[in-house]
Structure 1
Amino acid sequence: MYLNIGKCFVITFTNRRSKIVNEYQIDGRVLARSRVAKDLGILFDDKLTFRAHYQHITSKANQLLGFVFRSAKGFKKSRSLLYLFNALARSILEYDSPVWSPHYKVHVNELERIQKKCLRMLCFREKLGRTNLNYETRLSKYNVQTLEIRRKYFDFLYLYKIIHSLMISYVYANVRH
């Protein structure tokens, strides 16, 4: 198997302050060290805090939220904007969340802020004002759950699949085809 050594690197996952650093080589070339690695769309940092991933997905989702509202100015129904938000931005905020689901409130709020902004913009478009409705009222008006509740649902679903050996059969089914 041929390896592109220019794309290879070493990352050490640890919470220790002083890392044990070894030099790794392939074909006599020393591999570079990295603090962040991207695997299947998820950014893993060397302490497994996922801060880089949170920053990346919030930035990307904010850009897509802006794109949705800029490009859909002529849309009459705000439901259409919500569908676009769900398809483009929320899907980024939920992709493979059982792996990186945040535990600290600061990260939960950072992710939730994007959906809050979307619902606030929808209310503003419908001439409901920015401050008249709180977040919980907006959620019920548009029949939307918080991202935190949705992540917990996906966590439990993933756990259910593991306990009932549904993940293994899924992997084997895809390998056979």
Structure 2
Amino acid sequence: MQFHPAKCNTLPVTRSRRPLQPSYQLHGHTLETVKAVKYLGVTIQSDLCWDDHINNIVSKANMTLGFLRRNLKISSRSVKEQAYKAFVRPILEYASSVWDPHTQKNIDKLEAVQRRAARFVCNRYHNTSSVSRMLDSLGWQSLEERRKLARLSMLYKIKNSIVHCPGIKSKLAPLPPRQRRGHCQQFGLITCRTQYRSAAFLPSTVKDWNSLPAAVVEARTVDTFVSRASH
């Protein structure tokens, strides 16, 4: 197998203001150090922020939505809605349990795409038209709510060994009975020293999980869990 050094690079992961800058070599070639890299469709930054990934998917989703607008001008509302859900929304939600943003700036960027999609589906582009009413008439949850549900569903799957993730499952310590204020399946909160850590999947989702009603966490299937958690 021929080695191609141009295809290899290093991504130092740190939030230090003065990070170390080591040089790595492979087969005598010095590897390029990059600030971001795409892995399995998710752009990972060296500072652990998700700005690049969100900017990338928003751009791709907007281009896809533009394509639908140009080619489905005279289609019915039902066809337009199905097209949005099939081709645009998946771009905005792929692997969202990993990168779910906590900054309002990034949350708004994602919601703006869905708001444009609502105008497209309802065929109402006037500035005086209320997008909020369009979203209500369509019955669409906000993307933020959908990401929260996706995180909770993933935690349900990990807890019940539907998804094999021993590293996360080992950190799900049951909350002592005397500390519980809700259902009996509450977990101990994850201690975090930074806002970035507290917004990560496990700390944020455990907090949301503990606030769910007992009937939701006691669901016997994933579909039942999602249905109950959605209401």
User: TM-score, normalization: structure 1?
Assistant: 0.87
2:63 maps to 1:67: no
How many residues were matched structurally?
165
Q: Over residues 138-177 of structure 1, what are the superposed CA-to-partner deviations in whole Å (9 max), with x where a residue is unaligned?
A: 22211211111100000101111112222119xxxxxxxx
What's 1:22 paired with? 22
Where do residues 16-165 of structure 1 align in structure 2 (5 Å cutoff)? 16-75=16-75, 77-123=76-122, 125=123, 130-135=127-132, 137-165=133-161
The residue type equivalent to 1:67 in the other structure is F
- Whether the 8 Å CA contact 2:119–2:125 is kept in 1: the answer is no
Offset of residue 122 of structure 1: 2.8
Residues 73 and 50 of structure 1: CA distance in aligned 2, closer, same or farther (over 3 Å): same
Distance of 1:131 and 1:159 partners within structure 2:
41
Offset of residue 6 of structure 1: 1.7
Q: Over residues 88-124 of structure 1, what are the superposed CA-to-partner deviations in whole Å (9 max), with x where a residue is unaligned?
A: 111000001000001111110110000001112333x
- Whether the 8 Å CA contact 2:36–2:43 is kept in 1: the answer is yes
Offset of residue 3 of structure 1: 4.7
What's 1:5 paired with? 5
What's 2:195 paired with? none
Distance of 2:74 and 2:120 partners within structure 1:
15
- Whether the 8 Å CA contact 1:23–1:31 is kept in 2: the answer is yes
Unaligned runs of 5+ in 2: 166-231
Unaligned runs of 5+ in 1: 170-177
User: TM-score, normalization: structure 2?
Assistant: 0.67
Distance of 2:4 and 2:155 partners within structure 1:
36
Identity of aligned residues (%): 32
Name the structure, 1 or 2, with higher relative contact order (CA <8 Å, separation 6+). 1
- Whether the 8 Å CA contact 2:13–2:46 is kept in 1: the answer is yes
Distance of 1:90 and 1:71 partners within structure 2:
18
Distance of 2:11 and 2:2 partners within structure 1:
21
- Whether the 8 Å CA contact 2:37–2:44 is kept in 1: the answer is yes
Offset of residue 134 of structure 1: 4.0
